Amino acid sequence: SVRRAMKKKERKTNDLPQSNIVSGKYDHYHESEGREMCKRHELYVSFRDLEWLDWVIAPQGYAAYYCHGECSFPLDSCMNATNHAILQSLVHLMKPEAAPKACCAPTKLSAISVLYYDNSNNVILKKYRNMVVKSCGCH
């Protein structure tokens, strides 16, 4: 019953001209309402679990995160949706075979630094870019 009420409410707020909505496809969006919207999830990469602490000095692991969730039209609950993602979602609604749904992917990534020994016992400190998800969004 809650779902039905929400359906009504959402239909009211989505002022799309009826001609743009392919019959049945819009209902598909509502079916996926119970699913999670695109967002960042916890994911820890552990160098300890990989049994690498004999050569990796620091860190023991790092919070990498990942993006997961639905990018269904309308994307208003997904703050980082690009204009292209919004248009792609519309096209997907009308012609699902022409374009897939927009993808939930990282919008901002940051670097990590890893300190490790090489075979000659020299110590290397290296910066690896784009390793940590800072934010997710629909692309």
Residues 138 and 122: their CA atoms lie apart, in Å, by 43
Contact pattern for other proteins over residues 37 through 56, marking x by CB under 8 A: ----x-x-x----x-x-xx-
Which of the stretches 1-9, 11-19, 99-107, 120-128 binds other proteins when contact is defined by CB under 8 A? Answer: 120-128
What residues between 17 and 36 interact with other proteins by CB under 8 A? 34-36
- Is position 59 an interface residue for other proteins (rule: CB under 8 A)? yes
DSSP per-residue codes, 29-72: HHHGGGSPBSEEE--EEETTTTT-TTTEEE-SEEE--EEESB-P
Q: Give me the least distance between CB of 28 and other proteins, in Å please.
A: 14
CB nearer to other proteins: give 2 or 123.
Answer: 123
**Distance from CA of residue 108 to its chain's centroid?**
11
